[in-house]
Amino acid sequence: MKDYYDVVVVGAGPAGSITAKTAAEKGLSVLLIEKRQEIGDPVRCAEGVSKVWLRKHINPESRWICADVKGSRIFSPDGTMIEMAEEVAGGEVGYVLERKLFDRVLAYESAKAGAQVFVKTRATGLIIEDDFVKGVRLMHWGQEYDVRCKIVIGADGIESKVGRWAGIDTSLKPVNIETCAQFLMSGTGIDQDYCYFYLGNEMAPSGYVWIFPKGGGLANVGIGILGSKSGKKTAFEYLNDFVADKYPDARILEVDVGGVPVSGSIERTTANGLMLVGDAARQSDPITGGGIINAMEAGRIAGEVACNAISEDDVSVERLNEYEEKWRSTIGLEIDNSLVVKNVFINFTDKELDGLAHSLQDVNFSSMSLLDLLYALFKANKKLLWDLRGLFRNVVKNELDFDH
Amino acid sequence: MILVTIKVNKFKCGYCGACVGVCPAGALELVETWIEVDDNCTSCGICAKICPLGAIEVSR
């Protein structure tokens, strides 16, 4: 380990590794640190990802893809099913990943691009001088080190401290986190071509149960509930109840837990000499909980902006505003839309959820886009979903744009 | 002196870091496979509320 780099990236998840890779490809000297001794483990994720978006960052490899998903089946509390499948030939839309391998492959990509990677290496604080972040204090194999740099990237996930050390309050209120538990199970008997979602306030208050195929007869069976609804009964207990009821004979081969930020965009993700990316920047989607793609998109932008800023020898928060502008005008727009949907969704009663599902009984979906689903729901339930109207002004506009 | 703190059951904890993310005081830290609590803990109990495994107890 050197005592100076252009960029130090804290955390080797998708956000950190893509930032490190992008910055290293542009010729910057990059240190990527991961506090765990194994990148990608333990898993805190349902592992579903959009194919189209994934391909923008890495060519899919069979060894870290568990399943190809062709559609989704969503169940309302009374069991009414809405099926959304991609009808375009060969148009399978999603993958279910093996995050343990995927994350390591992404870190390896950054190493191939020239980044140094250190595992079992934890950031314990920032070096701050004249109101500028100038480096990171590290704990590596029980030894403390000071590593100086021009820019620090906080890619340290849900438990991010990097932002807080730089004066950005990233703490999440209970209403802004989904608390989640998941089992990797055999013997569920699900159709491996589909992702399943179960809604209901008894089953998963202000959240949902998901079942994602993991190939070879396995599935991720998980639950997320809103933090404000947790306490008397934990996510783990809700999941146990669901599984006992639905799959009494299935076997549990792995337990995963985690928190997912559903706050929507936070006020600030930059400081002098610092950028936050991925879950650390609370960039996960407030309605789906998906975070991998947003993390990678943000990582690429941050890597590019780091290069631009360093080449101009200006890493001030004003210069790094390029990062704020670029992520907020791309992934940020969808995050903001999803926050509107979340704020409507978390207040629905089971009866209202059933009513919404019934209203779609005669609708055929030929795409798996959440926005298409919401638009169909909106058209059939304008009164109940009036708060969502702002979303569709853009949808209609985009549809028109695509037509021309 | 009143001891105000939380107790993390390390045998239940899944070291996911959710508690660290919600702590308003920044008093928690996920270190490898365990949670450390520092003096800034106000015993507010938000971490215990959101822990997916119910591994945290507030003791006053």
Does A57 reside within a domain? Answer: no
Which of A328, A353, A379 terminates a domain? The answer is: A328
Tell me how crowded residue A212 is: count the other CB atoms within 10 A of its CB: 27
Interface test with A, best of B44, B50, B51 (most A CBs within 10 A): B50
Does A224 reside within a domain? Answer: yes
Residues in chain B within 8 Å Cβ distance of A164: 26
Does A49 reside within a domain? Answer: no
CA–CA gap between residue A109 and residue A98 (Å, rounded)? 16
Tell me, rounded to whole angstroms, the distance of Cα A278 from its chain centroid: 7
**Paired sense of beta strands A4-10 and A143-154, if any:** parallel
Q: DSSP assignment of A307-371, as one string?
A: HHHHHTT--STTTTHHHHHHHHTTHHHHHHHHHHHHHHHTT--HHHHHHHHHTTTTPPB----HH
Q: DSSP assignment of A133-178, as one string?
A: EEEEEEEETTEEEEEEEEEEEE---TT--HHHHTT---PPPGGGEE
Which of A246, A261, A276 terminates a domain? The answer is: A261
Same domain, A89 and A198: yes
Same domain, A189 and A235: yes
Residues in chain B within 8 Å Cβ distance of A141: none
| Shortest alpha-carbon distance between residue B23 and chain A (Å) | 6
- Cβ <8 Å between A158 and B16: yes
Which of A244, A261, A278 terminates a domain? The answer is: A261
Give, as one character, the DSSP assignment of residue A382: T
- Cβ <8 Å between B32 and A35: yes
CATH of the domain at A187: 3.30.9.10
Residues in chain B within 8 Å Cβ distance of A44: 16-17
Judge whether residue A125 has pLDDT over 60.
yes
Distances in Å between the Cα of A346 and the Cα atoms of A67, A176, A201, B7 are 30, 11, 9, 31
- Cβ burial, residue A404 (10 Å; 0-12/13-18/19+): exposed
Q: What is the pLDDT of residue A372?
A: 81
Query: What distance separates the 2 farthest-apart alpha carbons in chain B?
Result: 32
Does A53 reside within a domain? Answer: no
Same domain, A236 and A318: no
Same domain, A237 and A378: no
CATH of the domain at A22: 3.50.50.60
Q: What is the pLDDT of residue A397?
A: 53
Residues in chain A within 8 Å Cβ distance of B42: none
Judge whether residue A403 has pLDDT over 70.
no
Task: Give the H or E element holding residue A292.
Answer: helix A292-311
What order of strands is seen across the sheet that includes strand A48-50?
A: A48-50, A94-97, A65-69
| Shortest alpha-carbon distance between residue B27 and chain A (Å) | 10
Among A3-7, A83-87, A341-345, A397-401, the least confident range: A397-401
In total, how many domains does chain A have? 3
Comparing CA positions, the residue from A125, A186, A150 lying closest to residue A312 is: A150
Same domain, A227 and A321: no
Task: Using alpha carbons only, give the angle B22, A122, B40 rounded to the nearest 5 degrees.
Answer: 40
Same domain, A304 and A324: yes
Does A351 reside within a domain? Answer: yes
Interface test with B, best of A172, A184, A260, A276 (most B CBs within 10 A): A172
- Cβ <8 Å between A259 and B22: yes
Same domain, A24 and A139: yes
Same domain, A178 and A167: no
Same domain, A36 and A115: yes
3-state secondary structure A255-280: EEEEEEECCCCCCCCEECCEEECHHH
Same domain, A382 and A256: no
| Shortest alpha-carbon distance between residue B31 and chain A (Å) | 8
Same domain, A286 and A394: no
Comparing CA positions, the residue from B18, B51, B23, B49 lying closest to residue B37 is: B23
- Cβ burial, residue A403 (10 Å; 0-12/13-18/19+): exposed
Comparing CA positions, the residue from A4, A3, A18 lying closest to residue A306 is: A18
Does A54 reside within a domain? Answer: no
Measured between CA atoms, the residue of chain B closest to residue A37 is B32
Same domain, A118 and A204: no
A404 — pLDDT class (breaks 50, 70, 90): very low
Measured between CA atoms, the residue of chain B closest to residue A255 is B14
Tokens of A396: 């209609």
Q: What is the pLDDT of residue A401?
A: 46
What's the pLDDT tens digit per position in A64-100?
999 999 889 999 999 999 988 876 444 558 999 999 9
Interface test with A, best of B16, B30, B33, B42 (most A CBs within 10 A): B16
pTM summary value: 0.95
What's the pLDDT tens digit per position in B39-58?
999 999 999 999 999 999 99
Does A56 reside within a domain? Answer: no
Residues in chain A within 8 Å Cβ distance of B16: 42, 44, 158, 257-259
Does A303 reside within a domain? Answer: yes
Domain coverage including residue A29: 4-44+100-171+264-328
What's the pLDDT tens digit per position in A151-201?
999 999 999 999 999 999 999 999 999 999 999 999 999 999 999 999 999
CA–CA gap between residue A58 and residue A41 (Å, rounded)? 20
ipTM for the assembly: 0.95
Interface test with A, best of B15, B20, B32, B58 (most A CBs within 10 A): B20
